[in-house]
């Protein structure tokens, strides 16, 4: 694929403090961009990261016709660059796009664009456990017309941001009783931009009460535990790891499915099944609830220190060899090329 490259004149890398990065605030020198019009994707380009002009009537601004992905690039001690399960990301991007009536992106635009971008901005990928380059591929409807129907023109763009941890500090959650993240037949499984915007207000209410995130429950009964903030959620009851099955309300998380596999490989019993608020509160009361943690590309695995539901509050115990710690390390060892990768998840670019 012929990608036109317009390099920056002067890199801004020397102005960045890589030891003190807030998630998603600093971007690399370049971005990949291509366009869809007249039924085809074209004009792949790498250009300096910066503002782009769109018609104020572009559908993305009015109807939220936008989907995205989250990935990371890692560098090992030999300066080789790796991605983690990129095939899953392109598949999910196109599944999300289909649900939002957007055109599928050919895989080569995704892979070739991303590979070239990573090599051009390679100095932004820092070595060292915990350092990574967060990759944000996204597709937006750019056609200038406010008819409430799918656009005929789109852009697919990849921007990259050097990253360390996603959550600074401890995370405690409120279990949702009123608001919902998604509903049956909705777009909860897709990485649709609006899924995240709809979380901001209920999350801000939780934050006013001193909690950082919300555990989302099903919209019908608010009894089934589904996701935590922007992450999938796992519960350790006794020594069994339990997580909800993915369905049209829950994101098919790549970190989620990798943790399930790693836990099974380690001989841990994993139950992928519906899990209720009542069950969790009972397990907590009996002292059987040992861990709750969220998983996602940005956060990797984030322990949840406590939760609140109605007037019930609970603090999780401090554990040695917590699953959250053990599986995070196993996963990162694979991602950073420090361990064998029996499932062939790591891809060198």
Q: Note the residues at the interface with ligand COI (CB under 6 A).
A: 70, 196, 230, 296-299
**Measured CA distances, 230 to 70, 90, 123, 194, 203 (Å):** 11, 19, 29, 12, 11
The bridge status of strand 171-175 relative to strand 154-163 is unpaired
Give the separation between CA 85 and CA 347, rounded to whole angstroms: 7
Give the separation between CA 195 and CA 200, rounded to whole angstroms: 10
Q: Is 179 helix (H, G, I), strand (E, B) or coil?
A: coil
Work out how close the CB of 145 gets to ligand COI at its nearest, in angstroms, rounded to a whole number. Answer: 29
Work out how close the CB of 297 gets to ligand COI at its nearest, in angstroms, rounded to a whole number. Answer: 3
Residues across the chain: 349
Work out how close the CB of 230 gets to ligand COI at its nearest, in angstroms, rounded to a whole number. Answer: 4
Residue nearest to ligand COI (CB): 70
Token duo for residue 305: 């220190």
In the complex with ligand COI, the residue whose CB is nearer, 31 or 300, is 300
In the complex with ligand COI, the residue whose CB is nearer, 34 or 298, is 298
In the complex with ligand COI, the residue whose CB is nearer, 237 or 259, is 259
In the complex with ligand COI, the residue whose CB is nearer, 63 or 196, is 196
In the complex with ligand COI, the residue whose CB is nearer, 173 or 299, is 299
Work out how close the CB of 231 gets to ligand COI at its nearest, in angstroms, rounded to a whole number. Answer: 7
Query: Residue 336's closest CA among 28, 20, 77?
Result: 77
In the complex with ligand COI, the residue whose CB is nearer, 66 or 280, is 66
Give the separation between CA 111 and CA 342, rounded to whole angstroms: 23
Q: Is 337 helix (H, G, I), strand (E, B) or coil?
A: coil
Work out how close the CB of 190 gets to ligand COI at its nearest, in angstroms, rounded to a whole number. Answer: 12
Work out how close the CB of 31 gets to ligand COI at its nearest, in angstroms, rounded to a whole number. Answer: 17
Work out how close the CB of 211 gets to ligand COI at its nearest, in angstroms, rounded to a whole number. Answer: 17
In the complex with ligand COI, the residue whose CB is nearer, 182 or 283, is 182
Give the separation between CA 105 and CA 134, rounded to whole angstroms: 20
Token duo for residue 77: 């001690």
Q: Is the dihedral of CA 271, 276, 279, 285 positive or negative?
A: positive
Is residue 143 within 8 A of residue 152, CB to CB? The reply is yes
- Sequence-distant (≥ 6) Cβ neighbours of residue 318 within 8 angstroms: none
């Amino acid at each position: 694929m012929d990608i036109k490259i317009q390099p920056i004149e002067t890199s801004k890398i020397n102005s960045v403090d890589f030891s003190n990065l807030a998630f998603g605030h600093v971007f690399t020198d370049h971005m990949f961009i291509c366009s869809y019009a007249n039924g085809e994707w074209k004009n792949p380009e790498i250009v300096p990261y910066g503002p782009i002009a769109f018609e104020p009537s572009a559908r993305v601004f009015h109807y939220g016709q936008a989907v995205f992905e989250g990935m990371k690039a890692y560098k090992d001690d030999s300066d080789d660059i790796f991605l983690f399960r990129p095939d899953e990301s392109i598949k999910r991007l196109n599944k999300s796009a289909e649900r939002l009536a957007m055109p599928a992106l050919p895989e080569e635009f995704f892979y070739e664009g991303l590979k070239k971008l990573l090599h051009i901005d390679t100095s932004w990928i820092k070595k060292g456990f915990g350092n990574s380059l967060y990759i944000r591929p996204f597709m937006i409807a750019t056609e200038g017309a406010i008819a409430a129907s799918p656009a005929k023109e789109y852009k697919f763009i990849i921007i990259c941001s050097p990253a360390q941890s996603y959550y600074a500090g401890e995370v405690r959650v409120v279990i949702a009783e009123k608001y919902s993240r998604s509903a049956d037949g909705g777009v909860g499984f897709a990485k649709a931009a609006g899924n995240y915007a709809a979380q901001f207000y209920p999350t801000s209410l939780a934050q006013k009460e001193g909690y950082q995130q919300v555990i989302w429950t099903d919209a019908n009964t608010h009894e089934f535990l589904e996701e935590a903030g922007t992450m999938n959620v796992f519960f350790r009851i006794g020594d069994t790891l339990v997580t909800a099955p993915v369905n049209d309300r829950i994101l098919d998380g790549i970190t989620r499915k990798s943790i399930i596999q790693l836990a099974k490989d380690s001989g841990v019993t994993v139950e992928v099944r519906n899990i209720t608020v009542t069950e969790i509160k009972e397990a907590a009361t009996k002292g059987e609830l040992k861990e709750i943690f969220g998983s996602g590309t940005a956060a990797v695995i984030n322990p949840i220190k406590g939760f609140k539901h109605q007037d019930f509050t609970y603090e999780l115990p401090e554990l040695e060899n917590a699953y959250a710690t053990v599986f995070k390390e196993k996963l990162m060892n694979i991602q950073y090329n420090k361990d064998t990768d029996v499932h062939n998840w790591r891809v060198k670019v």
